[in-house]
Structure 1
């Protein structure tokens, strides 16, 4: 059709939609649809048919592939973060850890954990150096670091595609390697060979442990960081005064009733903010992590800094394996500042830069902090972040002078010192400078906004008025924020659930974040 694209679209509506609408002409149809934003039409009758394709040809293809099956197979998959690579130029996405491998920025080769150890390819988890191997498929070879993955079948490799782009942008160019041509249209190759590569590569891994142990008077013990039970055991449980906590959470009774403290107790006469996390519904997608970064001006630091454990994320998704290494179960646990009522970080700060609010928030006064990092050392949850560089140009003034600190930043090429670039920042949140500690604030700016909104409407705050960035981004509704003093609030209900527990509360930090024990729909394992 001749004319503009507008004419083309309008003509299409006239030929395809007008006859199924109640309008008399295309101009009337168009104007009303644009005004209302929707057009309800009659649905034409549709005949249902099935197309099973050529079953014989499909069978021959399967037999041919099986006949050519080699010792190793390759699967090209899409990462949860960058997908097929179309958003590879987004630095927030690049620095978001993969839910399974907990590695940022690069692609790599996932392989069976036992096979990696048998072939002398185990990584150095202290330096985060992973051994390189070369795999060949369809006359295409690629050299990438190999990452051991519990649950990965022996004889298989997995590589994320969408990487290795040459023209993408500052965050996406030359990140990882392309595997184009190595797999068929179904993203598989059943005949792959491998050989050892040259040396190793440092990776931006954010988690290198799968469980936490400690040495106590009774010997080595495992911390119950996460808790789980089976559906059968949970259904058989009935809450009573003698059994206040559900299966998988029985040890909490001792913690609640037997541990004492010399800390003075806080009295919260108004609000007491708390967070509830349901481990049953968390999928580990990390949408909450990206939302937190965007809301709170969390800087992107790059792969090398992540490798040095200098990532700045205010919250992370910890991953823990349970069961058999060859077929493990996985639990994801969002971990942010716990806003403890007896916070170990508060009493070690020599200048009271971190202190306790009257509403239960463990808050930071950035202009008081001068970076001793005592608070980070004393935090048992490791959720505090230190600005090793002027990542976002907060201290940069007078370009090309002695006061231009920004050129020292590892990310100076992002040009955050430019006024237009700085418009990406949230104006409600302070941009932190070099040498300052930072952490999750329970989105205190949103709490204040909720209070002001309620005040302007002449009413009290009600449950749901304040939502943190992580809560609003969670597609599974696994996170809920609210006032635990409000007995009608959802977070109060979660905190008093029989499945509720707080992480390592046996050290009596009194966290304000409650987790619900994960319930697995599987048979209970018989104990020998």
Structure 2
């Protein structure tokens, strides 16, 4: 590493930063004690509870093709070749935005979800939610049948009920729905509102975009959806907006792609955008910021108004802020931000989190307009399915109507308000006042248990549907499998209510699309099915200008703005389980949260200073027991484990919702704490002057942040853009690249004082000329730390969920981990992310010590595992300096097979192209060898055996394909024109622990940031 660049002091936790005796003892014990048996603290029942959704992905047959009638093969269909998957374009709905997907289907069984390259919302990539939806569909805890008053019933009985009950078209009916962009759904909605003269329709989302829509209405006189084009911006200012996180922004996949595209650096001549983040909680977006300011969420309002007042002197449209002043007016960031924004008029973006008030969204929209960003970096779209009313206010009004006994029938479509509604509405009591309650949902959940009729909903992979992307690309959702539990889709449910019989979803969707394609319908319909998108965008762009109403209302904004005194509470959707809808998904529960690395729990985040003032101690190492605190808001108290988070704002505590559920499923039950009781209509996202007390209780947290500690060795390289320009080779030893030698970057000859390696004495392996040589490169400047690579790898490679207790024991099975490092002061550090899979070392330390040659090199250069040869000595893991090997302590599949819960369909859980490992063997990243071999076979067939080297791009690993940041490159290192070779030639390329001379085939491009030097 260049001596001109200061050696960083990266750290993962406060314990590592302190390097106290406890930390030293922890890192000396690389493997946990008593790590060979399932210990007594975990009963077999609780073990099976967490294994349920990851191992017993349920169904009743091995093949359930989505056709009207299942028939045995008397003649093999032309498009079916056993063992060869088919791929179908579809779309995944999340709230009211679709992401285009492609589903891998094995003889009628969907097995893996990928992004659709033709779809603008996905660009071929996915989020963690997209990857995890396969597990949601196969979840054995999903509702399996219709219930009437809690007893088993049928769809036909429900249809008969609807035929009679809804014949009274003058009854007072309240429809409560999740957000949904489906044109078929909204067509049926209009029919319902036309038919029932006394009906009302309320869309309720615990975390929706009402504030943003109402903000554009205040600023421009229209409720418009804001789309930020981060690839067009030089300067981005994020006010408490975690736009890279799917839990905070339903367009996060497209956001990530655009954001990282504008920050791509291939040489010292390139430029990159600059991101400022002003936030209370250390978010995923904040961790990717070039400059980050931590302030309380309650003070973001004051900061924005101060910046608007500063800009007012140089732009038109912000006259309402003339002369305004508050505590932030003299803050050092205000003139710096103003200068940068004014220098990039039309090439900047200001954005504020959806949790903040409509007034703040209006102000930010006006600032974008005043800076000339509208129509350039920010566009506004007229979304027809969004109601004109404020849905939170309409929902509160509905609760009042229910309490007054004014509602005869409540029809709930998907939503679960008994769990997620504001606590002061007492929605469980309110809904009991209705005459009939009908609920369509995935699980027999909190709301279902209070309903007269519960209808089990079909997963989107089991049903026909349609919808729009965030900006209006229309798609068809086509089923991949017959409904496992005979579930009903939303459109079938609504049609049954309207017509008294269960229709076919296919017919309902076609009826809608015949209005779109009035000529040559069948051809255009089939083309849309094939491509996964319709050819046209249908959300029109709107030109905007700051309205007179905004200027007149701005005075009230400023007059009502108050300093946030005392301790504040910030309530957010959880990064992994969102609002609770993914709480029964074991993959997401076990995925370490991007910033805290906590699994299987929600906590109360606070700064080190706040913790010291409260007398709360930070977590220990290993099995972390933390103190429990009591949070009281408006007389309601919730007890939650406290977690000290570096970089968190002082006098602020952040909690997430979605946990603490009961009777939902074996994964969600008794996991975490239900924090929804702290949300009220007045404190949906923020509460001030809260009370915090220690309870004296302790709680164990399963956190991976100190697992696989590198003991001070530098794995991650980072510099500013300016430092890179001054020293392009800052990240590694001066190295050369020889494409003739399987693409490995060899260090030049070092002096006598350089560290030597024991591997210098081993002979290098020779490879046949006709074989490709595989390698990988990971661009840390693109990686955002979202964790989708980990979920994609889990889904692709049959990696089991092990549960909270085993994660606490250091036994998580993920083949690719995503390390999060901090650099700098504990109060205001910079965060950095680094994915770490197996390095596939050319001189692999693991191979030298295996007594049975279970780990060896393949002809195409991959470090491979022969599972049935491994005897479990774990010598290889002891000898791996990168700590990327995972030992399979238990036979997870066998444990579940003997549990008696659908054992005959366990195989449906697995990717048939990947071996299901058994107890006592070592596992690790394989470079997705099954995908490599498939591409080699296909290439051999296509070329009649003339060559065995697939074309560049023919093989994508699961992590590479899923990554929305396009941070991972994979390919043949003997092809000098391959993308991975070109990437490795970049002067930012470096190898982990290069001095050991293990010569990894996986290399990294060092991370760059572009901070404003005036704020350094």
Q: Could you tell me whether the CA contact under 8 Å between 1:33 and 1:39 is conserved in 2? A: no
Aligned with 2:854 (options 319, 335, 353): 353
Q: Cα–Cα, structure 1 residues 465 and 9, in superposed 2: closer, same or farther, change >3 Å? A: closer
Aligned with 2:701 (options 203, 208, 219): 203
Aligned: 1:166 with 2:662: yes
Aligned: 1:299 with 2:800: yes
Q: Could you tell me whether the CA contact under 8 Å between 2:839 and 2:1002 is conserved in 1? A: yes
Structure 1 residue 513 displacement after superposition: 0.7
**Following the alignment from structure 1 to structure 2, what is the Cα–Cα distance between the partners of residues 264 and 375?**
19
Q: Cα–Cα, structure 1 residues 137 and 366, in superposed 2: closer, same or farther, change >3 Å? A: same
Structure 1 residue 304 displacement after superposition: 0.8
Comparing 223-232 with 165-174, greater Cα deviation is found at: 165-174
Q: Could you tell me whether the CA contact under 8 Å between 1:500 and 1:517 is conserved in 2? A: yes
Q: Cα–Cα, structure 1 residues 61 and 315, in superposed 2: closer, same or farther, change >3 Å? A: same
Secondary structure of 2:982 counterpart: helix
Comparing 111-120 with 188-197, greater Cα deviation is found at: 111-120
**Following the alignment from structure 2 to structure 1, what is the Cα–Cα distance between the partners of residues 636 and 555?**
30
Alignment of 1:224-373 (within 5 A): 224-237=714-727, 246-249=729-732, 256-258=748-750, 259=756, 261-269=760-768, 270-373=771-874
Secondary structure of 2:577 counterpart: coil
Q: Cα–Cα, structure 1 residues 54 and 421, in superposed 2: closer, same or farther, change >3 Å? A: farther
Number of the residue aligned with 1:445: 930
Q: Could you tell me whether the CA contact under 8 Å between 1:357 and 1:363 is conserved in 2? A: yes
Aligned: 1:433 with 2:908: no
Structure 1 residue 424 displacement after superposition: 1.7
Structure 1 residue 209 displacement after superposition: 7.0
Number of the residue aligned with 1:217: none
Q: Could you tell me whether the CA contact under 8 Å between 1:133 and 1:144 is conserved in 2? A: yes
Task: Name the one with the larger helix percent.
Answer: 2
**Following the alignment from structure 1 to structure 2, what is the Cα–Cα distance between the partners of residues 44 and 436?**
56
Q: Cα–Cα, structure 1 residues 155 and 250, in superposed 2: closer, same or farther, change >3 Å? A: farther
Aligned: 1:419 with 2:912: no
**Following the alignment from structure 2 to structure 1, what is the Cα–Cα distance between the partners of residues 574 and 627?**
21
Q: Could you tell me whether the CA contact under 8 Å between 2:731 and 2:990 is conserved in 1? A: no
Q: Could you tell me whether the CA contact under 8 Å between 1:135 and 1:193 is conserved in 2? A: yes
Q: Cα–Cα, structure 1 residues 56 and 273, in superposed 2: closer, same or farther, change >3 Å? A: same
Alignment of 1:85-104 (within 5 A): 85-104=580-599
Aligned: 1:188 with 2:686: yes
Q: Could you tell me whether the CA contact under 8 Å between 1:232 and 1:524 is conserved in 2? A: no
Q: Could you tell me whether the CA contact under 8 Å between 1:10 and 1:30 is conserved in 2? A: no
Q: Cα–Cα, structure 1 residues 455 and 163, in superposed 2: closer, same or farther, change >3 Å? A: same
**Following the alignment from structure 1 to structure 2, what is the Cα–Cα distance between the partners of residues 36 and 349?**
54
- Over aligned residue pairs, what C-alpha RMSD do you find? 3.2
**Could you state the TM-score of these two structures normalised by the residue count of structure 1?**
0.83
Aligned with 2:886 (options 385, 389, 397): 385
Q: Cα–Cα, structure 1 residues 74 and 505, in superposed 2: closer, same or farther, change >3 Å? A: same
**Could you state the TM-score of these two structures normalised by the residue count of structure 2?**
0.44
Secondary structure of 2:690 counterpart: strand
**Following the alignment from structure 1 to structure 2, what is the Cα–Cα distance between the partners of residues 42 and 264?**
63
Q: Cα–Cα, structure 1 residues 291 and 423, in superposed 2: closer, same or farther, change >3 Å? A: same
Secondary structure of 1:497 counterpart: coil
Number of the residue aligned with 2:996: 507
Structure 1 residue 384 displacement after superposition: 0.9
Cα-to-partner distance string for 1:396-443 (whole Å, 9 max, x where unaligned): 7xxxxxxxx955xxxx58x4x723232020011110111111111111
Number of the residue aligned with 2:637: 141
**Following the alignment from structure 1 to structure 2, what is the Cα–Cα distance between the partners of residues 426 and 406?**
17
**Following the alignment from structure 1 to structure 2, what is the Cα–Cα distance between the partners of residues 302 and 468?**
26
Aligned: 1:82 with 2:577: yes
Number of the residue aligned with 2:950: 461
Comparing 471-480 with 372-381, greater Cα deviation is found at: 372-381
**Following the alignment from structure 2 to structure 1, what is the Cα–Cα distance between the partners of residues 735 and 608?**
34
**Following the alignment from structure 1 to structure 2, what is the Cα–Cα distance between the partners of residues 130 and 493?**
47
Secondary structure of 2:595 counterpart: coil
Secondary structure of 1:200 counterpart: strand
Structure 1 residue 35 displacement after superposition: 4.8
Secondary structure of 1:257 counterpart: coil
**Following the alignment from structure 1 to structure 2, what is the Cα–Cα distance between the partners of residues 56 and 100?**
38
Structure 1 residue 126 displacement after superposition: 2.9
Q: Could you tell me whether the CA contact under 8 Å between 1:80 and 1:285 is conserved in 2? A: no
Structure 1 residue 33 displacement after superposition: 5.9
**Following the alignment from structure 2 to structure 1, what is the Cα–Cα distance between the partners of residues 782 and 535?**
36
Gaps in structure 2 of 5+ consecutive residues = 1-190, 196-497, 529-533, 737-745, 751-755
Cα-to-partner distance string for 1:184-213 (whole Å, 9 max, x where unaligned): 455111111111123321112112279744
**Following the alignment from structure 1 to structure 2, what is the Cα–Cα distance between the partners of residues 8 and 177?**
41
Gaps in structure 1 of 5+ consecutive residues = 214-221, 238-244, 397-404
Number of the residue aligned with 2:71: none
Q: Cα–Cα, structure 1 residues 524 and 355, in superposed 2: closer, same or farther, change >3 Å? A: farther
Secondary structure of 2:716 counterpart: coil
**Following the alignment from structure 1 to structure 2, what is the Cα–Cα distance between the partners of residues 392 and 169?**
19
Q: Cα–Cα, structure 1 residues 60 and 226, in superposed 2: closer, same or farther, change >3 Å? A: same
Number of the residue aligned with 1:72: 567
Comparing 189-198 with 286-295, greater Cα deviation is found at: 189-198
Secondary structure of 1:298 counterpart: coil
Q: Cα–Cα, structure 1 residues 462 and 75, in superposed 2: closer, same or farther, change >3 Å? A: same
Q: Cα–Cα, structure 1 residues 201 and 454, in superposed 2: closer, same or farther, change >3 Å? A: same
Q: Could you tell me whether the CA contact under 8 Å between 2:616 and 2:627 is conserved in 1? A: no
Q: Cα–Cα, structure 1 residues 359 and 30, in superposed 2: closer, same or farther, change >3 Å? A: closer
Q: Could you tell me whether the CA contact under 8 Å between 2:622 and 2:707 is conserved in 1? A: no
**Following the alignment from structure 1 to structure 2, what is the Cα–Cα distance between the partners of residues 11 and 273?**
49
Q: Could you tell me whether the CA contact under 8 Å between 1:482 and 1:489 is conserved in 2? A: yes
**Following the alignment from structure 2 to structure 1, what is the Cα–Cα distance between the partners of residues 939 and 851?**
37
